[in-house]
Chain A
Amino acid sequence: DMKVTQMPRYLIKRMGENVLLECGQDMSHETMYWYRQDPGLGLQLIYISYDVDSNSEGDIPKGYRVSRKKREHFSLILDSAKTNQTSVYFCASSLQGGQDTQYFGPGTRLLVL
């Protein structure tokens, strides 16, 4: 059963704290993504990873960084979180590129106080 997992599902942090969001997939997909979803703004692409240690900025990378040391695992890091980073974060994976369906994880709801 194809699956994308995210941990944690819910997170509350104070402004200035570091945040680590983790994503895993069991489909041996090459490409993984991080999006954020805000009310009225749809999904916005933060970062793409094409494979291990091969990452590229998306549309809104400022304030975020990523790490992919294993093909099945992709992390999103917020160094010194800001209140405007309160959002729902979705991880997705696809076999390869733009023509392949992206499968989404359940999301992480992050609140930065």
Chain B
Amino acid sequence: GEQVEQRPPHLSVREGDSAFITCTYTDPNSYYFFWYKQEPGASLQLLMKVFSSTEINEGQGFTVLLNKKDKRLSLNLTAAHPGDSAAYFCAVSDNYAQGLTFGLGTRVSVFP
């Protein structure tokens, strides 16, 4: 089955700097990709859903890159601020399977 590796497990960045998180997946049939944010003690909130056909996806304060050739999905938090301190999870799905395969998460801390 699908396996998702997420790096790094922990990331500490200064306010205003970028934070870069990468996930690699194994199943070439994976077609839908998700990034979720989880603040401490809270549930998962969808950051962005990415379709296989789109390589660069811009959000508010972040960019998601998809490289299908290398089976790599990346999240770049641009100009990080304290409100970005949270755990971030990538998740992958194909057209047929119903569940998501999650990465193990990256805990981001943004300090002044």
Interface residues of A in 71-113 (CB under 8 A from B): 90, 97-99, 101-107
Q: Give the CA-CA distance A38 to B96 in the complex, in Å.
A: 27
Interface residues of A in 1-40 (CB under 8 A from B): 31, 33, 40
Contact A45-B43, Cβ < 8 Å, known A98-B93, A98-B94, A99-B32? no
Residues of A close to B56: CB separation below 8 A: none
Residues of B close to A45: CB separation below 8 A: 99-100
Quick check: is B25 within 8 A (CB to CB) of the other chain?
no
Chain B's closest residue to A50 (CB) is B98
Contact A98-B32, Cβ < 8 Å, known A41-B104, A42-B103, A48-B99? yes
Residues of B close to A106: CB separation below 8 A: 42-43
Residues of A close to B46: CB separation below 8 A: 101, 103
Residues of B close to A43: CB separation below 8 A: 44, 89, 100, 102
CB of B43 within 8 A of CB of A48, answer: no
- What are 18 A-B pairs with beta-carbon distances under 8 A? A42-B89, A42-B102, A42-B104, A43-B44, A43-B102, A44-B102, A48-B98, A48-B99, A50-B98, A90-B44, A97-B95, A98-B98, A98-B99, A99-B31, A99-B32, A102-B100, A103-B46, A104-B44
Other than the known A90-B43, A98-B97, A98-B100, what 18 A-B pairs have Cβ atoms closer than 8 Å? A33-B98, A40-B104, A41-B104, A42-B105, A43-B102, A44-B102, A48-B98, A90-B44, A98-B94, A99-B31, A101-B46, A102-B100, A103-B46, A104-B43, A105-B43, A106-B42, A107-B42, A107-B43
